[in-house]
Structure formats: C-alpha cells, structure tokens
Homo-oligomer: A and B are copies of this chain.
Amino acid sequence: MVRMPETRPYHHGDLRTALLTAAERTLREKGTASLSLRELAREVGVSHAAPGRHFKDKQALLNALALTGFERLARVLAAAEDPALPLEPRLTALARAYLGFAIDNAELLELMYARKHEPDASEQMAVAVEQTIGSLDRILADAQRRGEIIEGDPEQLNLVTGATLHGVADFISAGWLTPEAALAGVDGLVHVLLHGLKPR
C-alpha cells in the first residue's frame, strides 16, 4: 500500500456519496433553503464545479436525496410491521413508525413529497415509493382478506389511510402539532380510522 499524502488528492474518491452525506446534514441542521451546491462543494473540499460531474444539476442531487429518503423510510416501516399482530395494534405500530420518521426527518420528508420529480420518474424512485407504500398495502390487504375491514377498492382505503397519516406528518412538519402531541394521539387516530367518527 502506498501512503497517501497529507494534502487532499486530486480525485476525491467517492465525491457523489460525500456530497449526499453533506447535503443531508445541511438539510437537517440548516434546512432546505440553505442548501447550496457551492457550499456543499466547499464542505467536502472540492471545487464548486466538481458536483456537476456527479449531478446534472441541483435538482438531480435533490432527487437522489429523496430516493435515499424513500429507501430508508421503506426499511423503517418494514421493520415496524408485525404481521402477527391484530389489525389495530399492527396499524398503530406502522403509524408510530411513520410519524417517528417524519419527526426525525422533517426537511427530508418535505423534499420527498416535493411536487418536483414527476417527469423523470426514475425507475429506482418508483420502486422505492412502491416499497414504502407496500407496508400499508399489506396490512390493509390482510385485514380485508380476513373480513376485518370493509370491502371495496383497496386503492381507496389505502388512500384514506395514507392521507391521514401523511396529513398528520405534515402538520408536524408545519409546526402546527408538536411531536409529543402527535405521538400521544396515535392510538386515538388509528382508532377513529378503524371505527369511524360516528358512534357504534
């Protein structure tokens, strides 16, 4: 093995990864608004034009960041899912995991939901989104198969449930709901979702 000199080598090695890592730290510490390619380049110790080799433009970096976000969220949700549990606690666990992710990654989640990356569609992104939604899909499909929830278009049921969870997550991001209040209300939230607002 050859000893590397103390000075930074001409080639970074894994600039792409380094940029994404730095970007996510900035996102978390200073918000989306103060995420600049030039500053990222500075942090990583590379010229301001270097990121251009790895990301076509700023949006491409944001897309890549969103992709890692979906991949991580999908893993978090899959891990929280326990098919052995009865419907209500199973759904509650999923909701708790999602809200936890939203609390810990508010800015990233906002990026993931940004109405920006429709045209590219990037196969990978579609897969990651699919996997993210998958956990909820399975819970509702299982429940429907067992007759534990009403019949009807699974898409529609999925939409209602997903929208409710996402709505709460967004309320947290927007600062209209404290993380504590959100987590404290999860049980009630899922209960209403399952049993409805009308009395039984």
Contact surface of A with B, Cβ cutoff 8 Å:
106, 110, 113-115, 118, 140, 143, 147-150, 152, 156-157, 159-168, 170-171, 173-175, 177, 185, 188-189, 192-200
Contact = CB atoms under 8 A, between A and B. Distances in A.
Contacts of A149: 197-199
Listed from nearest, the 4 A-B pairs whose CB atoms lie closest are A196-B196, A163-B167, A167-B167, A166-B167
Contacts of A118: 175
Contacts of A140: 197
Contacts of A167: 162-168, 170
- Residue in A160, A185, A200 with the greatest tally of chain B CB atoms within 10 Å: A160
Contacts of A147: 199
A115 B160 CA distance: 24
Contacts of A173: 115
A87 to B, nearest CB: 8
Nearest to A164: B164
Contacts of A164: 160, 163-164, 167
Given A157-B197, A163-B165, 7 more contacts: A106-B115, A113-B174, A118-B175, A149-B198, A167-B168, A195-B196, A195-B198
B163 A171 contact: yes
Contacts of A198: 148-150, 194-196
Given A115-B173, A115-B175, A199 B162 contact: no
A62 to B, nearest CB: 11
B199 A196 contact: no
B196 A194 contact: yes
A198 to B, nearest CB: 5
Contacts of A200: 200
Given A150-B198, A167-B165, A160 B106 contact: no
